């Protein structure tokens, strides 16, 4: 219990809120790396996933690539890319690492969202005279959006956790208190950094959960359970 109190005291200390390694600065770096990685990964994975889900081609390759990418250790991939890119391109190596780790979940969310749609719904849309683009935008995209957001949710949470190790190559982020505190045996600082990362992940997860729930079409949302009323004599 004293460790949690020490971690809270470390977080509230004035020196943690000023300077180059102030907590707001580290938080901004963490969010910036996460947002940039997810954006680049989405530009690559989402169109590819839609194409796979729409045509059915390449699904086996996508599943294999996604499974292999999820098995790659994040820290090992980061160090490997830093060595390949060179020490002068560490930010680019880190960004490439986070993008590669985000692609599998986004790819799976994109193509499963299209595949999960009942073919009869698409046939009915075509029968009404919709063009291919109208079928995609008004039917496939909207019905597949909840699963796409689910993939985006999983990818974002994974990147948030992985960006923590960016501090190991001196890129800042909320992992900095953890990486710095371990060799110094400042366990209050390590716990404080871990709590900040966990809190950020929980907030982002909640926001994506609300967004995922809001995008479910009204006709597909589960009906609310009727309240049981006890009969009175």
> Does 112 or 225 have the greater pLDDT score?
112
pLDDT tens digits, residue range 11-44? 998 888 988 889 999 999 999 999 999 999 999 9
Nearest alpha carbon to residue 95 among 85, 109, 107, 105:
85
Distance CA 78, CA 90 (A): 9
- On the question of pLDDT at 79 being above 80, the answer is yes
| pLDDT band (50, 70, 90) for residue 222 | low
Kindly tell me the sign of the dihedral angle through the C-alpha atoms of 45, 50, 53, 55: negative
Question: Percentage of residues in the chain with pLDDT exceeding 70?
Answer: 93
Q: At what angle do helices 23-55 and 59-71 cross, to 10 degrees?
A: 150
| pLDDT band (50, 70, 90) for residue 232 | very low
Q: Which fold has domain 22-214?
A: MetI-like fold (1.10.3720)
At 175 the pLDDT is 93
- On the question of pLDDT at 229 being above 80, the answer is no
At 58 the pLDDT is 77
| pLDDT band (50, 70, 90) for residue 126 | confident
At 219 the pLDDT is 58
Distance CA 108, CA 45 (A): 9
Spell out the domain ranges in the chain. Answer: 22-214
| pLDDT band (50, 70, 90) for residue 68 | confident
- Sequence-ordered alpha helix ranges (H) in 56-87: 59-71, 74-85
At 148 the pLDDT is 93
| pLDDT band (50, 70, 90) for residue 228 | very low
Please state, rounded to an integer, the average pLDDT across all residues of the chain. Answer: 86
At 151 the pLDDT is 92
H/E run at residue 30: helix 23-55
pLDDT tens digits, residue range 149-195? 999 999 999 999 999 998 888 888 999 999 999 888 889 999 999 99
């Amino acid at each position: 219990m004293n460790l949690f109190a020490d971690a809270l005291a470390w977080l509230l200390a004035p020196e943690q809120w000023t300077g180059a390694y102030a907590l707001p600065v580290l938080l901004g770096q963490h969010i910036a790396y996460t947002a940039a990685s997810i954006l680049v990964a989405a530009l690559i994975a989402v169109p590819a996933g839609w194409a796979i889900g729409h045509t059915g081609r390449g699904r086996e390759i996508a599943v294999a690539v996604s499974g292999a990418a999820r098995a790659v250790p994040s820290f090992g991939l980061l160090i490997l890319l830093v060595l390949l890119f060179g020490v002068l391109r560490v930010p680019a190596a880190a960004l490439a690492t986070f993008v590669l780790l985000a692609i599998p979940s986004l790819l799976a969310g994109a193509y499963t969202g299209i595949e999960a749609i009942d073919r009869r719904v698409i046939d009915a849309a075509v029968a009404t005279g919709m063009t291919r683009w109208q079928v995609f935008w008004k039917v496939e995209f909207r019905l597949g959006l909840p699963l796409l957001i689910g993939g985006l949710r999983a990818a974002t949470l994974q990147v948030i956790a992985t960006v923590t190790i960016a501090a190991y190559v001196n890129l800042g982020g909320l992992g900095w208190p953890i990486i710095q505190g371990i060799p110094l045996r400042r366990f209050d600082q390590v716990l404080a950094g871990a709590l900040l990362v966990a809190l950020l992940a929980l907030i982002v997860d909640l926001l994506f959960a609300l967004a995922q729930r809001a995008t479910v079409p009204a006709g597909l949302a589960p009906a609310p359970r009727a309240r049981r009323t006890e009969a009175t004599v």
